[in-house]
Amino acid sequence: MSDLSKQISAQIQQAADQNSAVRIQGGNSKAFYSRALDGSLDLVDVSGHTGVVNYEPTELVLTARAGTTIQELSETLGEKNQHLAFDPPVLGGLATIGGTLASGFSGPCRPYLGSIRDHVLGTHIVNGNGDYLRFGGEVMKNVAGYDIARLMAGAMGTLGVIMQVSLKVLPKPQKEATLCFELAQGDALSMMRELGDSPIPVSGACFDNGRVYVRLSGSEVGVASASKTLGGETMSDGEAVWISLREFSHAFFDTELPIWRLSLPTQACPDLSGETLIDWGGQQWWLRSDAPIKEIQFAAAKAGGHATLFKGGDRSGEVFHPLSDTMMQLHENVRLSFDPKRILNPGAQYPS
Amino acid sequence: MNSPLVSESLDPAVFRQLHIDLAGILDRPNLLSESEEVTPYECDGLSAYRQRPMLVALPEDIDQLIAVVKTCHRHKVPIVARGAGTGLSGGALPLSNGVLLVLAKFNQILSIDQKGRTATVQPGVRNLAISEAVDQYGLYYAPDPSSQIACSIGGNVAENSGGVHCLKYGLTVHNILQLKVVTVTGELVTIGSKALDSPGFDLLALMTGSEGMLGIVVEVVVKLLPKPTHTSLVLAAFDSVEAAGHAVGGVISAGIIPAGLEMMDNFAIRATEDFAQCGYPIDAEAILLCEVDGTEDEALAQVDQVTAVMKHFRATEVRIAADEAERLLFWKGRKMAFPAMGRISADYYCIDGTIPRSQLPHVLNKMEEWSKEFDLRVANVFHAGDGNLHPLILFDANIPGELERTEEFAGKILDLCIEVGGTITGEHGVGIEKINQMCNQFSTTEIDQFHALKAAFDPNTLLNPGKAIPTLQRCAEHGAMHVHNGELPFPELERF
Ligand SMILES: Cc1cc2nc3c(=O)[nH]c(=O)nc-3n(C[C@H](O)[C@H](O)[C@H](O)COP(=O)(O)OP(=O)(O)OC[C@H]3O[C@@H](n4cnc5c(N)ncnc54)[C@H](O)[C@@H]3O)c2cc1C
């Protein structure tokens, strides 16, 4: 537990004064995800800025410094039978809450229980001028000022060094169960879509190699009655399926090929060449493929979504889906409003 | 009261040209300029502030709207967007030198994707109309502000509105997927998509709650949810507000996330019971309405749990709505609370501060104390589950000084909300009403950052200028007012 707010603000102030760019790092567990940063840039190391600042179980709120690991948060919450409902990757205990927010990572429950951005209540950041700023707060509803706290989600550190995060936390479900069904892809997509047509407590649905896995989380009675309605085979080690997806430790991710992540509307069926693993009830497709970037981006866009070069491939090229000219201009304006000298993680998201 | 916004008057020559240009875009009935035509638009739901707009434009389609925006941009004339005008913070208060852009004609549900569980709607569509239109598919749109019969989805996006069910189902920001927005220069951009995330910054979150300051929302794709198969409502009565406050924490600690958890104090109970005859226990100091939903088994199990918690926290009476009719009757009182207040008082002023739940007893006690000091009655009816207070201060604007005293009282409550770790507004927005309190909640560098972000979208400050984010000059003046509190024109208050 240590507070580096002063040091980090001072470091950014100095970098701004000297017009020298910096790269921001938490646990360094997601370096594979960003566009390549110039390794010679000065490092802003947030991993030492740690500690749970406030946790009040009856408020369903937890506030932690950005360098606190997801693992530590899960343990702290677990003691009170609560959890981070967006179920972020732990990545060998290295992932920090700041890095998780900057990357916008959420687990398999994303379509059902929301993403990290949905659970963020407030953030403290240091912007590109070195100003320490607080947005949002620790209450469930807050519309004072623009929602800068949520804007940090997925911004890849280009809008500020995330220093502190307040999150909505939830009680752990009483009961979980994973059901398995053998289905062809088309039927699998329909089935996963239909899960959302009735209010059953689904918290995960994926399609892997001819099988649909469905996770249920809720009250004893809720899970029992949903299991009965859905049928299928109840798995004894169901948890392993979800951990392997959340941690990218599933065999699918063990490859030399570039790994793509396609985010798509419900029941989209993009035209792809390469092996796929489908999560988020059909809304997140993992693809292993060395097909040309444009081809994959085109297929994703045609299906109404977008493609990210998640891991591997050319990290100095296009990693995130290209934006329209108007949107790119808007992004640049937004970025400059936080970081007028473009010193924070330049190029981590789009070429600087 | 007139508008607290001071705006420079427009050069008459520019006005004439603007009028001519807009008349070339809009049919005569859709461009209003005569005093009697524009007067109906002089205020929103916060009627204490009024200002007649210079012109009212009611475009009928996106092309017209874009042309109007481009014309205003060319003439550097400010634009204030208006949905249904039910906002409670003066967000849609017009400008004497600006165009009020009314979205009322954008009232079509464009498409419903039953399988994808989304609806694409124009911004002027009423919140409730969406749920009504998709009811046939067993779906609904979750955020349900009490004003849902009237308020528009565009206004909901602009305010990030909540409702009685947002404890479990989230706010507007959690329930929309995509927006089409016209920028201040008249460009149409799509923000978000039907997928669960989009490349780049989360501008969807940023636009939500931005009070018409960053762009004009012209289309919204909302998420739809399946209707719960079973819903039950528990009504618990308590002999003190404090006990009810503790029971709220008790429900959450028990691991229950109710669909809704609302509190009313004795004053509010009596007033609504008089008005709506919904069978509330009028002798209770406070009641909690706790709704649970899900499959039948789930809901029934939760009712038992909630009942046990309420009893544990010394509820004097626990009632479970016997059937759907009684459930709706119990809710009717809650939903009629505002009009009920309107009946017993000439005016009321609704506050929207949000606090950590554990502070509920402290803050409620403090308000009771101040109510005596200021000699103004306060009724409490609010979203207890998420700590979102809605004290209603009753006053009579015709009694000289009452509005000012009310505003001072309200300001004190908001400052207390900040002090206990909360915020000045949970869902109604800052608008013009809480603009001074923004100076108390945020530092000058934070306010600078807000302005810089605004300039990224609107460098000439033409969209809803003067709202939501105070100028630093305004904060300096407000700070000065605070220091000289004792010299403000209510010396009588000092005696208490
Ligand atoms: C009796 C009553 C009960 C209420 N209950 C609740 C409640 O439970 N929860 C809650 O959250 N609110 C509540 N409200 C407040 C209000 O209804 C909401 O803020 C609502 O979202 C406003 O919608 P509107 O269409 O009336 O917007 P308006 O009042 O017309 O405008 C509100 C703001 O949005 C901007 N705006 C409107 N449309 C657009 C657009 N298309 N593009 C960009 N900006 C736009 C305006 O400029 C303004 O700043 C209540 C109000 C009343 C009168």
**What is the domain partition of chain A in residue ranges?**
3-171, 175-246
> Which tens digit of pLDDT belongs to each residue from A115-133?
999 999 999 999 999 999 9
Query: For a substitution probing ligand 1, which of B58, B101, B147 has the most ligand atoms within 8 Å of its CB?
Result: B147
| Structure confidence at residue B486 as a pLDDT band (50, 70, 90) | very low
Q: Please compute the mean of the pLDDT values over residues A1-24 and round it to a whole number.
A: 97
Q: Please compute the mean of the pLDDT values over residues B353-361 and round it to a whole number.
A: 92
A323: which chain B residues are within 8 Å (Cβ-Cβ)?
199-200
Alpha carbon of B200: minimum distance to chain A alpha carbons (Å)? 7
A301 near B CB under 8 A? no
A171 contacts B198? CB cut-off 8 A:
no
Q: Please compute the mean of the pLDDT values over residues B10-25 and round it to a whole number.
A: 95
B490 pLDDT exceeds 50?
no
Report the C-alpha gap between B348 and B390 in whole angstroms.
11
| Structure confidence at residue B495 as a pLDDT band (50, 70, 90) | very low
C-beta separation of B106 from B123 below 8 A: yes
Report the C-alpha gap between A128 and A158 in whole angstroms.
9
Q: How far is the CA of B152 from the centre of ligand 1 (A)?
A: 7
User: How high is the pLDDT of residue A97?
Assistant: 98
Determine the length of chain B: 496
B189 contacts A324? CB cut-off 8 A:
yes
Closest chain A CA to residue B229: A199
A144 contacts B424? CB cut-off 8 A:
yes
Closest chain A CA to residue B451: A337
Residue A325, amino acid: D
Report the C-alpha gap between A26 and A44 in whole angstroms.
9
* CATH architecture for segment(s) B109-226: 2-Layer Sandwich (3.30)
Query: A284-288 and B118-121: which strand pairing?
Result: unpaired
Q: How far is the CA of A206 from the centre of ligand 1 (A)?
A: 39
Question: On the CB side of B125, how many CA atoms lie within 13 Å of its CA?
Answer: 25
A31 pLDDT exceeds 70?
yes
Q: Where are the domains of chain B?
A: 12-102, 109-226, 230-338
Residue B409 tokens read as: 């009282």
Q: Which CATH class is domain A175-246?
A: alpha beta
**Residues whose beta carbon lies within 6 Å of some atom of ligand 1:** B 44-45, 80-88, 91-92, 103, 123, 145-147, 151-152, 154-156, 158-159, 161-163, 211-212, 216-217, 338, 427-428, 464
- B229 or B206, higher pLDDT: B206
Closest chain A CA to residue B414: A144
Q: Please compute the mean of the pLDDT values over residues B69-75 and round it to a whole number.
A: 98
Candidate from A81, A139, A338 with C-beta closest to B255: A81
What is the gyration radius of the CA atoms in chain B, in angstroms? Answer: 23
Report the C-alpha gap between B145 and A294 in whole angstroms.
44
* CATH architecture for segment(s) B230-338: 2-Layer Sandwich (3.30)
B297 contacts A222? CB cut-off 8 A:
yes
A2 near B CB under 8 A? no
Q: Please compute the mean of the pLDDT values over residues B261-268 and round it to a whole number.
A: 95
User: How high is the pLDDT of residue B9?
Assistant: 82
B353: which chain A residues are within 8 Å (Cβ-Cβ)?
none
Pick among A117, A139, A162 to test the B interface (most B CBs inside 10 A): A139
User: How high is the pLDDT of residue B496?
Assistant: 27
Report the C-alpha gap between A144 and A137 in whole angstroms.
10
| Structure confidence at residue B195 as a pLDDT band (50, 70, 90) | very high
Q: Which CATH class is domain B12-102?
A: alpha beta
Pick among B171, B423, B440 to test the A interface (most A CBs inside 10 A): B423
Q: What average pLDDT does chain B have? A: 93
Q: What is the ipTM of this complex?
A: 0.97
**Ligand 1 atom closest to the CA of B83, numbered from 1:** 30
B489 pLDDT exceeds 60?
no
Residue A112 tokens read as: 């059902």
User: How high is the pLDDT of residue A116?
Assistant: 98
* Domain B12-102 and domain B230-338 have a common topology: no
A266 contacts B116? CB cut-off 8 A:
yes
- B345 or B160, higher pLDDT: B160
Report the C-alpha gap between A344 and A128 in whole angstroms.
6
> Which tens digit of pLDDT belongs to each residue from A304-346?
999 999 999 999 999 999 999 999 999 999 999 999 999 999 9
Residue A312 tokens read as: 């591997």
Closest chain B CA to residue A328: B200
Residue B71 tokens read as: 């014309």
Report the C-alpha gap between B445 and B431 in whole angstroms.
20
- B1 or A27, higher pLDDT: A27
C-beta separation of B223 from B229 below 8 A: no
A330 contacts B189? CB cut-off 8 A:
yes
Closest CA to A244 of A94, A82, A85, A108: A108
Question: How many C-beta neighbours within 10 Å does residue A33 have?
Answer: 22
Choice among A183-187, B10-14, B140-144, B431-435 with the minimum mean pLDDT: B10-14
Closest CA to B72 of B181, B211, B216: B216
Q: Closest Cα to atom 36, ligand 1: which residue?
A: B155
User: How high is the pLDDT of residue B295?
Assistant: 83
Query: For a substitution probing ligand 1, which of B46, B61, B151 has the most ligand atoms within 8 Å of its CB?
Result: B151
> Which tens digit of pLDDT belongs to each residue from B395-450?
998 999 999 999 999 999 999 999 999 999 999 999 999 999 999 999 999 999 99
Report the C-alpha gap between A159 and A251 in whole angstroms.
35
> Which tens digit of pLDDT belongs to each residue from A278-309?
999 999 999 999 999 999 999 999 999 999 99
Helices (H) and strands (E) in chain B, counts: 17, 18
Question: With respect to CATH, is domain A3-171 assigned 3.30.465.10?
Answer: yes
| Structure confidence at residue B298 as a pLDDT band (50, 70, 90) | confident
Candidate from B193, B294, B442 with C-beta closest to A199: B294
The crossing angle, in degrees rounded to 10, of helices B62-75 and B12-23 is 160
Helix (H) or strand (E) holding A213: strand A211-218
Laid out side by side, the sheet with B286-294 consists of B317-320, B230-238, B286-294, B260-265, B378-382, B391-395, B347-350
User: How high is the pLDDT of residue B8?
Assistant: 77
| Structure confidence at residue B253 as a pLDDT band (50, 70, 90) | confident
Indicate the pTM of the whole model.
0.96
> Which tens digit of pLDDT belongs to each residue from A81-94?
999 999 999 999 99
b or e along A256-289 (b: 16 or more beta carbons within 10 Å of the residue's beta carbon)? Answer: eebbbbbbbbbbbebebeeebbbbbbbbbbbbbb
Residue A296, amino acid: I
B493 pLDDT exceeds 70?
no
Report the C-alpha gap between B268 and B394 in whole angstroms.
11
Contacts of A209 (CB under 8 A, 6+ apart): none
| Structure confidence at residue B3 as a pLDDT band (50, 70, 90) | low
Question: How many C-beta neighbours within 10 Å does residue B322 have?
Answer: 8
Closest chain B CA to residue A109: B196
Q: What percent of chain B has pLDDT over 70?
A: 96
Q: How far is the CA of A180 from the centre of ligand 1 (A)?
A: 45
Q: How much helix, strand and coil, in percent to the nearest 5, is found in chain A?
A: 30, 25, 45
Query: For a substitution probing ligand 1, which of B56, B62, B86 has the most ligand atoms within 8 Å of its CB?
Result: B86
Q: How far is the CA of B151 from the centre of ligand 1 (A)?
A: 6
User: How high is the pLDDT of residue B482?
Assistant: 44
B481 pLDDT exceeds 60?
no
